[in-house]
């Protein structure tokens, strides 16, 4: 027999050991991530008394795939819209925490005399708390529903996003080997450019693709398509200089906005668990006990740095974001650990060969110890607050609570100019990025193709002209939208009519956007032609005027934008249809003191089986039934002939009093319990038909056994051992033995007949 490849042997060893160790950790109610790390330590070459992995390079490849799928799953749970709705509070908190912890990490590493790269990577690792560990700790301690837990999770989501950005920055810094402000700024610009570009293009194309293929998709094909898109985005990300993990995260965040997101999350979960386990096992394999002994002092000091740094700066960050001292302390104490992203950042440093070999096992040891301490830190928050409350002067406490409450108590004034400028800036940036991308693709790939297609030097102008015209045609919807967007918005109309002094700035915003759009046309002309500047400026102005006046281009631009918005809202629409979210028009109803409420129809409701017209809900309660949710169905604007079923969810519109009366009636009008429930038991009886039976000569239907006696004939004996189904057209004859099912009283009446 041929021998198995070393990869299969290693994989078998890893999964068997990981399975045994994680079962033990599950029994001990410890995080499974730690179990995987311990399993990696057991199968590593550093353990002389156990079997060890043969080919670490192959396992590292699998671990890299694990990182990719971990971040893909993180993207599926992430939504850009959620971050926008959070407001500034989580951003203030996370900025304070990350900046402070990075500085602390740099200071600690320099104190030990470590290299600049070790210091930078250590600072990045110490800034990242563990979403997985904290979520599990909240769940086990029964704190997930408390307000402070929600605040912590919102900050952790932002931390995870910034961790992705940090990985890209660290890669750029590592390649330069001399981090400077200009390099970091260019990295930020690149990240922002490609993030916006990929998200906008992805939201436009991916939902359309999934919608077209929806009828062909089953669980298997959807899983393959989702993983294929993940790997495709990972390849594209590496081609432009980012990590594959960054691309996987971006694709996950794009798929998170689709209707299929929930199903993809369920399907990808086993794949993520498998490769994630291999990644964390590979983390444990890099832990060398000798290094842990040699670096015991740094490990202890880094643990103290994390605990003190996160509790102090975490508390300050949450207070600056608008929380009271008690809430801020509970949040800060919860974040005193590092987890999975620290391992990922450390793996990045090793793969780039920019950090020392000792840093990885040191970070793993710190993560393991701080993870074990997490539940105790969460529990210690309130006692520490009460101890601090006793020792601090009352004046200080009032000032600290006031500092935390200032952001919540301030009233945000709506500034129309501010709102208008913000929206114009967002649209201008997005459309500029799309325009730059199209121009880059056309001039970098299509133009050389045209030059090869038309090799005659005398006809080079034709290749340039075709390229230029097609490029302008492709970017024209973006340029027109850039110039005309928001020109007739409520903000502009209000500012225009309020004060004549507002009109000149409004006109200036239009001209400024037109100048930016014309600059793109000028660049294309300058690249492809040898016209004078005056001619190129004239061409640009005429082109922009033509775009603005084109009615067909206007309709095309509007249709593209509507399709994008529909794709962006598709998951929200699906959740509204299935009742997981309230309809968007409810916000307008609230202004009129009415709203939508959902009431479940009890299983024993007396309304079940009745039509809406019979129930006269509008006359009795003054509410309007807008929709009925029935399983996967949504019945909008039901008619009077619509029948109510048990388990239906009724969405009704009304004010608080009307909806309260409606809900109370629906929940209270139930079918009364049967006082003689024992008599409802069904029995099986044998009945022999004699010559005097009234059923002789009649068919089953004519006999009236079901209608008059509420019993059912289940079979007849015809000289056989088994019952046979009776033919409905067969007439009963004397001597027939029939078997009947019914309640005891009905059977008694039937047997007397």
Task: Please answer whether residues 179 and 198 qualify as being in contact, where contact means their C-beta atoms are separated by less than 8 angstroms.
Answer: no
pLDDT of residue 740: 92
For 391-398, the CB contacts below 8 A with 24+ separation are 397/325
Q: Give Cβ neighbours of residue 416 (< 8 Å, ≥ 6 apart).
A: 491, 494, 495
pLDDT class of 15 with cuts at 50, 70, 90: confident
Mean pLDDT on 184-188: 65
307 pLDDT higher than 80: yes
CA torsion through residues 717, 720, 726, 732, sign: negative
Q: What is the pLDDT of residue 43?
A: 79
Helices within 499-631 (DSSP H only):
503-528, 533-549, 551-577, 586-590, 612-615, 617-621
- Is residue 144 predicted with pLDDT exceeding 70? no
pLDDT of residue 590: 46
Residues 6+ apart with CB under 8 A from 358: 291, 294, 295
Q: Is 524 exposed, middle or buried (0-12, 13-18, 19+ CB in 10 A)?
A: buried
> Residue 591: pLDDT band by 50, 70, 90 thresholds?
very low
Residue 234, pLDDT above cutoff 70: yes
The pLDDT score that the predictor gives to residue 414 is 45
Q: Which residues contact 268 (CB under 8 A, 6 or more apart)?
A: 69, 72, 73, 76, 223, 226, 227
Pairwise CA distance, residues 714 & 565, whole Å: 60
Torsion of CA 451, 457, 461, 465, to 10 degrees: -20
Model pLDDT, residue 626: 84
Name the helix (H) or strand (E) containing 717. strand 712-717
Res. 329: pLDDT tops 90: no
pLDDT of residue 84: 62
pLDDT one-digit tens code per residue, 673-683: 777 777 888 88
pLDDT digits (tens, 9 = 90+) for 642-657: 888 888 888 888 887 8
Q: Which range is most confident: 98-112, 198-212, 353-367?
A: 98-112
CA distance 230 to 147: 34
Q: What is the mean pLDDT of residues 76-82?
A: 69
- Which pLDDT does position 741 carry in this prediction? 93
Percent with pLDDT over 90 in the chain: 1
pLDDT at 578 over 50: yes
């Amino acid at each position: 027999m041929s021998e198995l490849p070393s990869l299969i042997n290693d994989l078998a060893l890893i999964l068997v050991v990981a399975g045994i160790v994680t079962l033990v950790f599950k029994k001990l109610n410890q995080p499974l991530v730690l179990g995987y790390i311990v399993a990696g330590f057991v199968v590593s070459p550093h353990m002389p008394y156990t079997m060890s992995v043969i080919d670490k390079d192959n396992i590292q490849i699998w671990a890299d795939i694990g990182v990719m799928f971990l971040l893909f799953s993180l993207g599926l749970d992430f939504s850009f819209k959620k971050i926008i709705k959070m407001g500034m509070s989580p951003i203030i908190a996370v900025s304070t925490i990350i900046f402070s912890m990075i500085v602390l990490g740099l200071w600690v590493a320099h104190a030990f005399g470590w290299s600049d790269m070790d210091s930078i990577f250590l600072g990045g690792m110490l800034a990242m708390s563990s979403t997985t560990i904290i979520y599990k700790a909240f769940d086990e301690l029964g704190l997930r529903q408390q307000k402070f837990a929600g605040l912590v999770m919102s900050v952790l989501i932002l931390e995870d996003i910034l961790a992705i950005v940090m990985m890209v920055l660290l890669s750029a810094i590592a390649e330069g080997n001399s981090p400077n402000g200009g390099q970091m700024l260019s990295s930020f610009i690149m990240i922002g450019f490609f993030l916006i570009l990929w998200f906008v293009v992805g939201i436009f194309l991916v939902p359309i693709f999934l919608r077209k293929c929806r009828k062909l998709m089953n669980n298997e094909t959807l899983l393959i398509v989702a993983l294929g898109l993940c790997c495709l985005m990972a390849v594209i990300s590496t081609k432009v200089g980012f990590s594959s993990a960054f691309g996987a995260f971006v694709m996950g965040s794009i798929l998170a906005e689709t209707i299929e997101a929930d199903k993809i999350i369920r399907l990808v979960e086993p794949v993520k668990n498998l490769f994630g386990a291999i990644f964390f096992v590979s983390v444990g394999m890099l832990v060398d006990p000798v290094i842990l002994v040699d670096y015991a002092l740094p490990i202890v000091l880094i643990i103290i740095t994390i605990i003190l740094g996160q509790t102090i700066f975490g508390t300050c960050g949450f207070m600056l974001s608008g929380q009271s001292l008690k809430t801020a302390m509970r949040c800060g104490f919860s974040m005193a650990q590092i987890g999975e992203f620290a391992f990922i950042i450390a793996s990045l440093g090793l793969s780039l060969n920019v950090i020392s070999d000792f840093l990885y096992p040191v970070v793993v040891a710190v993560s393991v110890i701080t993870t074990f301490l997490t539940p105790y830190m969460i529990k210690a928050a309130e006692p520490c607050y009460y101890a601090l409350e006793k020792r601090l002067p009352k004046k200080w406490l009032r000032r600290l609570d006031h500092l935390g409450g200032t952001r919540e108590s301030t009233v945000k004034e709506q500034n129309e100019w501010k709102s208008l400028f913000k929206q114009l800036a967002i649209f201008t940036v997005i459309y500029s990025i799309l325009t730059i991308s199209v121009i880059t693709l056309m001039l970098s790939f299509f133009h050389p193709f045209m030059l090869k297609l038309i090799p005659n030097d005398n006809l080079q102008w034709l290749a340039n002209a075709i390229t230029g015209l097609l490029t302008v045609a492709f970017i024209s919807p973006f340029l027109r939208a850039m110039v005309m967007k928001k020109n007739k918005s409520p903000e502009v109309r209000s500012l225009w009519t309020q004060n004549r002094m507002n009109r000149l700035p409004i006109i200036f915003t239009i001209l400024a956007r037109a100048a930016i759009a014309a600059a793109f046309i000028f660049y294309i002309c300058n690249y492809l032609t040898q016209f004078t500047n005056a001619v190129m400026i004239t061409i640009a102005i005429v082109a922009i005027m033509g775009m603005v006046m084109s009615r067909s281009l206007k309709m095309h631009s509007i249709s593209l934008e509507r399709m994008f918005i529909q794709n962006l809202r598709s998951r929200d629409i699906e959740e509204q249809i299935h009742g997981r979210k309230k309809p968007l028009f409810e916000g307008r109803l609230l202004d009129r003191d009415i709203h939508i409420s959902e009431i479940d129809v009890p299983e024993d409701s007396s309304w079940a089986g009745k039509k809406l017209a019979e129930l006269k809900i509008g006359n009795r309660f003054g509410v309007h039934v807008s929709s009925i949710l029935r399983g996967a169905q949504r019945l909008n604007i039901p008619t009077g002939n619509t029948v109510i079923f048990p388990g239906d969810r009724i969405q009704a519109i009304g004010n608080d009093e009307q909806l309260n009366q409606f809900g109370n009636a629906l929940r209270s009008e139930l079918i009364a319990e049967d006082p003689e429930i024992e008599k409802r038991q069904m029995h099986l009886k044998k009945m022999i038909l004699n010559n005097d039976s009234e059923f002789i000569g009649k068919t089953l239907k004519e006999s009236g056994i079901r209608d008059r006696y509420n019993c059912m004939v289940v079979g007849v004996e015809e000289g056989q051992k088994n019952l046979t189904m009776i033919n409905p057209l067969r007439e009963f004859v004397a001597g027939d033995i029939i078997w009947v099912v019914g309640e005891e009283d009905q059977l008694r009446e039937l047997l007397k007949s």
